[in-house]
């Protein structure tokens, strides 16, 4: 219904009156009750979606069925072409292009359309003092850069932790680097409007409970209590191999509610940004039975008597199963 409202507001009053009568006859309402699986993946029959392609071409829904991740179950994020790192280890698994394209076409500026970084699961070995880690995320339709925040340990394996900076989804006024992501001037910081890459649907992405977003987003929603422990994201990377040993990316899907005059069921709603669902994509595998860990001396360096270790790790992230076997030679004089 909300997507229909977004489409209808661009039509003349006569068309909106006809649409209002049609929606009433079909008993279409703003609120509906469905199973979680229907809402997320399988979809459910929807009259509006059945007729929407007549007015808006290119919608991904088939047979009049709608779900938020329709057609995404058991699929990948596309064909990534990456560097092997054979000639330059610092380029290991860095993305060269996505589906044959070396840049996106969603955003207003070249810098925002760049496909930077890795695909998050594996990257190049880290420098001794890393400042940040950049990776591309299809759901956000952009690359994201997390800042280094400290060291972690997983079953004796040292890792570098990276977390999103507070201004990662800031508007162009608060973070000039994000100005080419701004679709609506003056929108408060803390959300990303993904309309350009989601078939022009009125969808905003944020962190759950509008974590690190402008407080104005939480004023009209009861029960929100944003905190970093429950709603933050992080990435832990083993620095020698570049393998991500702990991935937690959380985000929230929000709808831009729009009033449409004349259409009865849509004429009394307030223009607002309402949370719909929040998603936690994570991988943190028990490495205790899969890793031969080199010993450390008191200074934190590898003991010279140990020449190598083998890291075997399975990664399940964004519904992609990748088996990665890495052998790293630690050669010391």
pLDDT in tens, 126-175: 999 999 999 999 889 999 999 999 999 988 889 999 999 999 999 999 99
- The pLDDT assigned to 322 comes to 34
Is the CB of residue 115 less than 8 Å from the CB of residue 136? yes
Q: Which residues fall within 8 angstroms of residue 172, CB to CB, at 6 or more apart?
A: 178, 179, 180, 181, 182
More confident residue, 288 or 25: 25
Q: For 63-118, what is each residue's pLDDT tens digit?
A: 777 777 766 666 677 888 999 999 999 999 999 999 999 999 999 989 999 999 99
What average pLDDT is seen over the chain?
A: 79
Pick the range with the lowest mean pLDDT from 79-88, 104-113, 284-293, 306-315: 306-315
pTM for this entry: 0.78
Buried b / exposed e along 3-12 (16+ C-beta atoms within 10 A):
bbbbbbeeee
Q: Please, which pLDDT band fits residue 285 given cuts at 50, 70 and 90?
A: low
Least confident of 49-53, 131-135, 218-222: 49-53
* pLDDT tens digits along 188-199: 999 999 998 887
pLDDT greater than 60 at residue 295? no
Given a cut of 80, is residue 268 above it in pLDDT?
A: no
Higher pLDDT, 233 or 258: 233
Query: Smallest Cα–Cα separation from 294: which of 237, 246, 332?
Result: 332
User: What distance in Å separates the CA atoms of residue 218 and residue 198, rounded to the nearest whole number?
Assistant: 24
Quote the pLDDT of residue 329. Answer: 35
Structure tokens at 140: 């956000």
Greater pLDDT, 183 or 70: 183
Q: What is the pLDDT of residue 37?
A: 83
- Whether residue 34 is predicted with pLDDT greater than 60 in this model: the reply is yes
């Amino acid at each position: 219904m909300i997507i229909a409202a977004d489409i209808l507001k661009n039509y003349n009053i006569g068309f909106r009156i006809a649409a209002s009568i049609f929606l009433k006859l079909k008993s279409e309402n703003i609120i509906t009750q469905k199973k979680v699986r229907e809402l997320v993946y399988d979809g459910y029959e929807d009259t509006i979606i059945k007729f929407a392609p007549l007015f808006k071409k290119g919608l991904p829904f088939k047979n009049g069925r709608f779900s938020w991740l329709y057609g995404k179950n058991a699929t990948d994020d596309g064909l990534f072409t990456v560097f092997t790192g054979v000639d330059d280890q610092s380029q290991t698994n860095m993305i060269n292009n996505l589906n044959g394209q070396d840049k996106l076409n969603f955003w207003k500026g070249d810098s925002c359309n760049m496909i930077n970084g890795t695909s998050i699961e594996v990257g190049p070995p880290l420098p001794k003092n890393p400042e940040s880690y950049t990776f591309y995320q299809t759901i956000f339709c952009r690359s994201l850069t997390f800042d280094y925040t400290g060291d972690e340990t997983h079953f004796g394996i040292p890792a570098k932790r990276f977390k999103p900076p507070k201004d990662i989804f800031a508007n162009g006024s608060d973070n000039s680097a994000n100005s080419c992501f701004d679709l609506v001037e003056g929108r408060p910081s803390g959300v990303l409007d993904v309309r350009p890459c989601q078939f022009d649907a009125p969808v905003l992405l944020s962190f759950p409970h509008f974590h690190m977003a402008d407080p104005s987003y939480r004023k009209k929603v009861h029960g929100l209590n944003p905190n970093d422990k429950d709603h933050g994201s992080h990435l832990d990377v083993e620095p020698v191999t570049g393998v991500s040993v702990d991935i937690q990316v959380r985000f929230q899907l929000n709808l831009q509610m729009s009033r449409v005059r004349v259409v009865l069921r849509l004429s009394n709603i307030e223009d607002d940004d309402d949370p719909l669902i929040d998603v936690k994509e994570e991988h943190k595998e028990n490495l205790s039975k899969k890793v031969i860990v080199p010993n450390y001396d008191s200074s934190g360096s590898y003991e010279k008597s140990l020449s190598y270790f083998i890291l075997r790790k399975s990664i399940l992230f964004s519904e992609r199963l990748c088996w990665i076997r890495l052998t790293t030679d630690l050669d010391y004089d």
